[in-house]
A = this chain, B = another copy of it.
Amino acid sequence: MSVAIKPPHVPPDFPARKLVNLPQPLRLYRGGLIAKPVVAYESWGRRSPADDNTVLLFTGLSPSAHAASSALDPAEGWWESMIGEGRPIDTQRWHVVCINSLGSPFGSSSPLSIDPASGRPYGTAFPLLSVEDIASAAREALHALGIARVACVIGPSLGGMTVLAYCVQYAHEVDALISISGATSASAQAIALRALQREIVRSDPEWRNGAYEPGRGPRTGLRLARKLGTVTYRGAREFDTRFGRRRVAEPGAPDGEPRPFEVESYLEHQAERFSQVFDANCFLALSRAMDEFDLAEHGSTLAAAFARLRGMHSLVIGVETDILFPIHQQRAIGSGLEAAGAEVEFHAFPSEAGHDSFLVDLARFEGAIRGFLARR
């Protein structure tokens, strides 16, 4: 993604962002209520009169709804080459809606929003967020916009989990799905890594139990957590090729200390950028939601949950070097859908960039997505 660096915890401005005030309070999946829910989104292309061409896009944990540039916001989006005229998600045919996840700092209701009960930002008083809520907020937003059906729901990473949460809750309103490096539930190792990231944030004294002032907060904790995230998002072979043991060019400390490695400088750059635009309480809520998600809760067994997706046209993509959403989890999504009688196209890409390959190794993903959508 490419977002301008702003002062901490001031969400960046996205000129193309649109807001939907949902007409009803939003009841959350694990209890809790958002009294005045707002969903931020961006859109590209035009709705067909028959309401049969909406592609719904969910994001990973970090990005905003600015997936691609538009006349309203010419800045490059996080999936710029994927969306547009003649692109894999071709806006000459499709009406694309990218949803900013509930809980994210980039426009939708989140810990940064004003709690009507207190008149102050929710902070840690934001009710326990689930992936199902990201899906249901999006669904209510579409309905508020008069969109009753989704031709295809797409998402990578957290967005892939959200695709499953959307389809299992609203299967009768969806024709097709594209799951990219998602999971029916987090692996124990992914839980360990994300729980550690959250503890790192909360261990920063500036977190102040979540009651930091807007514009302040646990910047160091967020920076360290993002470094850990970045390592898990990428590939070991990719790091060896890109960075190896090269050192940064600056001279070492005066006492002859060896210079830092380039890979350290790369992590610093990624983490600094993230910690300047992302809110800590939002991070904690979204990260936690990923660990708590379990598709199997939507049936007596996981297979029973998948059975709700019978007949869904499905494209499932995973990456062999992904350590956070490993390839066996992608195969499990594919075989779960198949066992439920869904039509499944499955790809295990050998990309070297790990979990983030959908942002990097674009040719492979573009080809598969273009082909799948062309057959719809």
Contacts and interface: CB of A to CB of B under 8 A. Distances in A.
A203 B224 contact: yes
A192 B326 contact: no
Given A191-B263, A205-B205, A264-B191, A200 B224 contact: yes
Interface residues of A, number: 45
A371 to B, nearest CB: 31
B191 A256 contact: no
Contact of A291 (B186, B261, B267): B261
B191 A245 contact: yes
B231 A196 contact: yes
Interface string A188-214: 110111011001100111000000000
Interface in A23-46: 30-31
A261 B193 CA distance: 12
A231 B31 contact: no
Contact of A192 (B185, B191, B267): B267
A140 B202 CA distance: 46
Among A256, A263, A291, the most chain B Cβ lie within 10 Å of the Cβ of A263
A195 B239 CA distance: 14
A95 B371 CA distance: 67
A250 interface: no
A187 B231 CA distance: 12
Contact of A243 (B188, B228, B234): B188
Contacts of A200: 200, 224
Interface in A238-261: 239-240, 242-245, 256-258, 260-261
A187 B263 CA distance: 10
A224 B242 CA distance: 28
B199 A240 contact: no
A323 interface: yes
Copies in the complex: 2
Interface in A286-304: 291-292, 294
A240 B196 contact: no
A242 B192 CA distance: 13
Contacts of A291: 261
Interface of A is mostly: helix
A368 interface: no
A326 B240 CA distance: 12
A188 B261 contact: yes
Given A228-B228, A256-B31, A326 B236 contact: yes
Interface string A153-188: 000000000000000000000000000000001111
A17 interface: no
A227 interface: yes
Nearest to A239: B188
A128 B255 CA distance: 10
A220 interface: yes
Given A128-B257, A186-B245, A196-B224, 9 more contacts: A31-B256, A188-B243, A189-B231, A189-B234, A189-B239, A191-B264, A193-B231, A196-B227, A205-B205
29 contacts: A30-B256, A128-B257, A185-B245, A186-B245, A187-B239, A187-B240, A188-B240, A188-B243, A188-B245, A189-B231, A189-B240, A189-B263, A191-B264, A192-B227, A192-B263, A192-B267, A195-B264, A195-B267, A196-B224, A196-B227, A196-B231, A199-B224, A203-B204, A203-B220, A203-B221, A228-B228, A236-B323, A236-B326, A245-B294
Q: Identify the 4 closest CB pairs spanning chains A and B, nearest first.
A: A188-B239, A189-B236, A188-B243, A188-B263
